[in-house]
Amino acid sequence: MTAITGLGSGAISEIAKDDNGDYYAHVTGTTGNTADGYYAVDIDKATGEVALKDGNVDTPTGTPTTTSTYDFTDAGQTVSFGTDAATAGISTGASLVKLQDEKGNDTATYAIKAQDGSLYAANVDEATGKVTVKTASYTDADGKAVTDAAVKLGGDNGTTEIVVDAASGKTYDAGALQNVDLSSATNTVTAIPNGKTTSPLAALDDAISQIDKFRSSLGAVQNRLDSAVTNLNNTTTNLSEAQSRIQDADYATEVSNMSKAQIIQQAGNSVLSKANQVPQQVLSLLQG
């Protein structure tokens, strides 16, 4: 922040807080009817805008201390940073979030979510609500001193504190990188491959988790196949029973038809036999 709203004009060299917790802007290079000094200010936590309470130089209680953060209470509110935020590469208007575990339960880890979605490590005093940005200082691969580099959250679990060295483009564990000279021939700090942590236990946990998910999927497929096989077996049994009943019904019909045919045949033979006897009797009478 470089300017304020109020009487006259001037530039803010720092935001300070006195012993009572009131904020003051240390204004320098004033023109008009104002003077250099500490001015009581109101800070809009949603926008980061600093506005003078009045046009008079005030006297803070005790010794004012420079602050790069503003106090607030609840996670999820907009966080407005002071000059250190620009040094750390975090834009004004980021929001504070509380990370959750895989089951959706809140953890004790807070992060600052930038407008581009990046997560930065932060310290939160839950008693006062004060938020401070975690930073790291080291010497980059080109031998240039880097101070207050923003610490991001990443790695396999998404909560590992990492720093991306702009000179080399490599990612390092923030804790291991602190006060390290990457340009030194004796440097023993190694980069994290592909920005991922190399913990074997984390890799094994991830592999086991993937296997469990795969086994669950296979179990569901197997259950569906077992159900399909059971349905096919039931269908086969029903068809066999139906075929048997049909065959039994056909056999009875054919036996009945055969008996009918035999009766008709025997009746015909009997009638024919009697018909032959009449001519024979007539011939016998004629011959006698």
Number of H helices, E strands in the chain: 3, 14
Domain count, the chain: 2
Q: Is the pLDDT of residue 80 over 50?
A: no
In a domain, 271, yes or no: yes
In a domain, 38, yes or no: yes
Percent of the chain with pLDDT over 90: 6
Q: For 204-262, write each residue's pLDDT tens digit.
A: 887 888 888 888 888 888 999 999 999 999 999 999 888 887 777 677 777 888 888 88
| Prediction pTM value | 0.38
Give the CATH number of the domain where residue 31 resides: 2.30.220.10
Q: Which domain holds residue 34?
A: 1-67
Q: Cα separation of 83 and 74, whole Å? A: 22
pLDDT at 232: 93
Choose between 90 and 265: higher pLDDT: 265
Q: Cα separation of 51 and 39, whole Å? A: 10
Domain final residue, candidates 13, 44, 67: 67
Mean pLDDT of all residues in 128-152: 80
The answer to whether the beta carbons of residues 152 and 117 sit under 8 Å apart is no
The most confident of the ranges 6-10, 50-54, 246-250 is: 246-250
- Strands 65-66, 160-164: pairing is unpaired
In a domain, 217, yes or no: yes
Domain final residue, candidates 38, 67, 96: 67
In a domain, 154, yes or no: no
In a domain, 143, yes or no: no
In a domain, 157, yes or no: no
Choose between 112 and 92: higher pLDDT: 112
Domain final residue, candidates 67, 91, 114: 67
In a domain, 162, yes or no: no
Q: For 120-138, write each residue's pLDDT tens digit.
A: 787 777 666 667 778 888 8
In a domain, 231, yes or no: yes
